[in-house]
């Protein structure tokens, strides 16, 4: 048995309403899992060296449940555009470049390093329609031991000719990707229809058959903007709501279902999301940048839906999930101010829970520092002032609003210290 002990101020969100904070605590890690958080080191471990971080914070690593890996190269660019203009002028031309695997190597290598630098060890990630380039990202994530779901994108209609697949070819290449990426310890394939308007009903039903055959989940966008929601209703008139398109294809039955944005859900959407325990992903920066709207996060939480956080690179310009924790609180206050009916601000504790334990729920025991969870953790320092006292919770909040990766002085993945 491999045992390590770390001393510091341990902070995590076991439940969405509050943070748990333990100053001067010893966190005992056995074979990469948290054994306990204790004030004193037990006698049985008396001979072990304790890694003492003093007053530094020890927190769970972050989970980012919506990333467009190919858009890393365009982060922070074209932010004066609306959604469909931005896709046309920037995103689709950028994604076409991933037919070149040498280009994909460079972009995906930079992305993975940046995720680790900012403390994101668990992620759900889109690639492009290109199977070989998608394989490159999968391997890079697996080589670093990150926890991830990733899949090649499917698009067979309403897309530029240079990115529009034939339905049969899209399904064939997707099955090949699923077959070639079975059995990895921390990275798993996931079905990735881009969003309903770029997928024919035949394609979506075909993906549903693959979900059953390979017991895999799905990630896509859902009711992201008023225009997108109206377009989807026009294209799929026989369905009661957008989520029903995926439900009736059987895409919500065999693995995690991860829906980005969920800004304008109908009552029927919420019913299906709750029944399937699908995760709704709040991407504050991205939806503000492309003026899609603001997720009704408090209302979804109140409806007992799992809600996580995503950076949505590249509409989101920064890979730091902790920034999105702060933005989620900010935007919930704005939504409550301008649309008071049914909306209220979320707390910092709720936003932190969304970015750690809620997002980590689609993986294997990650997102918290409770006993039994993997020791996937960050150590934060340099957040307190020497002229006034701050609680651990206040220091963590300051990190999310005003800190950056320079405050992360150590990173642990499955109990191993790692670096970008």
Query: Which pTM does this prediction carry?
Result: 0.97
Q: Is the pLDDT of residue 26 over 90?
A: yes
% of the chain residues with pLDDT over 90: 94
Q: Is the pLDDT of residue 191 over 90?
A: yes
**pLDDT tens track for 356-394:** 999 999 999 999 999 999 999 999 999 999 899 999 999
Residue 59's pLDDT is what?
Answer: 98
Average pLDDT over residues 71-89: 91
CA dihedral (336, 342, 347, 352) positive or negative: negative
Residue 42's pLDDT is what?
Answer: 86
**pLDDT tens track for 157-186:** 999 999 999 999 999 999 999 999 999 999
Partner residues linked to 147 by β-bridges: 122
Residue 64's pLDDT is what?
Answer: 98
Q: Is the pLDDT of residue 234 over 90?
A: yes
| CA distance linking residue 289 with residue 284, whole number of Å | 9
Q: Is the pLDDT of residue 268 over 90?
A: yes
Domain spanning 62-360: CATH superfamily: Metal-dependent hydrolases (3.20.20.140)
**Phi, psi dihedral angles at 154 (to 5 degrees):** -115, 130
Question: 401 vs 78, which has greater pLDDT?
Answer: 401
* Architecture per CATH, 3-61+368-418: Roll (2.30)
| CA distance linking residue 139 with residue 184, whole number of Å | 10
| CA distance linking residue 337 with residue 143, whole number of Å | 46
In this prediction, residue 419 has a pLDDT band, given cuts at 50, 70 and 90, of very high
Domain range annotation of the chain: 3-61+368-418, 62-360
Residue 292's pLDDT is what?
Answer: 85
* Mean pLDDT, all residues of the chain: 96
Residue 291's pLDDT is what?
Answer: 83
**pLDDT tens track for 280-333:** 999 999 999 988 899 999 999 999 999 999 999 999 999 999 999 999 999 999
Average pLDDT over residues 249-254: 97
**pLDDT tens track for 402-417:** 999 999 999 999 999 9
**Residue of 114, 139, 156 lying closest to 316 (CA atoms):** 114
Residue 46's pLDDT is what?
Answer: 85
Distances (CA, A) of 154 to 50, 83, 98, 202, 311: 49, 19, 14, 12, 21
Partner residues linked to 307 by β-bridges: 280
Those residues with Cβ within 8 angstroms of residue 414's Cβ, 6 or more apart along the chain or in another chain: 32, 145, 374, 375, 376
| CA distance linking residue 64 with residue 283, whole number of Å | 9
In this prediction, residue 47 has a pLDDT band, given cuts at 50, 70 and 90, of confident
Residue 323's pLDDT is what?
Answer: 98
**Phi, psi dihedral angles at 368 (to 5 degrees):** -145, 170
Residue 356's pLDDT is what?
Answer: 98
| CA distance linking residue 121 with residue 265, whole number of Å | 29
Residue 81's pLDDT is what?
Answer: 87
In this prediction, residue 219 has a pLDDT band, given cuts at 50, 70 and 90, of very high
**pLDDT tens track for 49-63:** 999 999 999 999 999
Those residues with Cβ within 8 angstroms of residue 398's Cβ, 6 or more apart along the chain or in another chain: 383, 390
**pLDDT tens track for 82-103:** 888 999 999 999 999 999 999 9
Q: Is the pLDDT of residue 146 over 90?
A: yes
Please spell the DSSP secondary structure of 239-265, one letter per residue.
SSSHHHHHHHTTTTSSS-EEEEE--S-
Please spell the DSSP secondary structure of 76-130, one letter per residue.
TSSTTS-HHHHIIIIIHHHHHGGGSHHHHHHHHHHHHHHHHHTTEEEEEEE--S-
| CA distance linking residue 184 with residue 330, whole number of Å | 38
∠ at Cα 213 (210, 219), nearest 5°?
A: 45
CA dihedral (255, 311, 346, 263) positive or negative: negative
Residue 83's pLDDT is what?
Answer: 83
CB 309 within 8 A of CB 261: no
């Amino acid at each position: 048995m491999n045992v390590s002990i770390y001393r510091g101020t341990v902070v995590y969100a076991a439940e969405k309403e509050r943070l748990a904070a333990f100053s001067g605590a010893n966190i005992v890690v056995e074979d990469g899992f948290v054994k306990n958080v204790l004030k004193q080191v037990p006698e049985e471990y008396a001979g072990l060296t304790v890694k003492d971080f003093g007053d530094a914070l020890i927190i769970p690593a972050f989970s980012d449940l919506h990333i467009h890996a190919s858009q890393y190269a365009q982060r922070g660019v074209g932010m004066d555009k609306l959604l469909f203009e931005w896709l046309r002028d920037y995103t689709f031309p950028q994604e076409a470049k991933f037919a070149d695997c040498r280009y994909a190597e460079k972009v995906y290598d930079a992305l993975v390093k940046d995720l680790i630098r900012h403390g994101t060890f668990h992620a759900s990630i889109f690639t492009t329609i290109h199977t070989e380039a998608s394989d490159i990202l999968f391997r890079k994530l697996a080589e670093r031991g990150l926890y991830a779901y990733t899949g090649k994108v499917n698009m067979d209609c309403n897309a530029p000719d240079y990115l529009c697949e034939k339905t049969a070819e899209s399904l064939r290449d997707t099955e090949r990707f699923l077959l070639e990426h079975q059995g990895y310890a921390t990275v798993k394939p996931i079905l990735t229809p881009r969003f309903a308007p770029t997928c024919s009903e035949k394609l979506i039903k075909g993906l549903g058959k693959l979900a059953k055959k390979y017991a895999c989940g799905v990630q896509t966008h859902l009711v992201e903007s008023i225009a997108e929601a109206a377009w989807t209703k026009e294209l799929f008139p026989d369905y009661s709501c957008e989520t029903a398109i995926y439900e009736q294809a059987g895409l919500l039955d065999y693995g995690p279902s991860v829906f980005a944005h969920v800004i304008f859900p109908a009552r029927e959407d919420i019913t299906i999301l709750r029944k399937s325990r699908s995760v709704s992903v709040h991407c504050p920066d991205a939806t503000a940048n492309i003026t899609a709207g603001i997720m009704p996060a408090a209302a979804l939480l109140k409806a007992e839906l799992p809600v996580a956080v995503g950076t949505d690179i590249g509409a989101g310009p920064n890979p730091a999930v902790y920034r999105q924790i702060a933005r989620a609180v900010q935007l919930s206050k704005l939504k409550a101010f301008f649309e008071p009916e049914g909306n209220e601000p979320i707390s910092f504790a709720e936003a932190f829970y969304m970015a750690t334990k809620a997002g980590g729920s689609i993986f294997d025991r990650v997102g918290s520092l409770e006993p039994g969870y993997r020791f996937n953790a960050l150590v934060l320092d340099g957040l307190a002032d020497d002229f006034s006292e701050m609680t651990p919770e206040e220091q963590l909040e300051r990190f999310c609003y005003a800190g950056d990766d320079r405050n992360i002085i150590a990173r642990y993945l499955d109990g191993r210290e790692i670096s970008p």
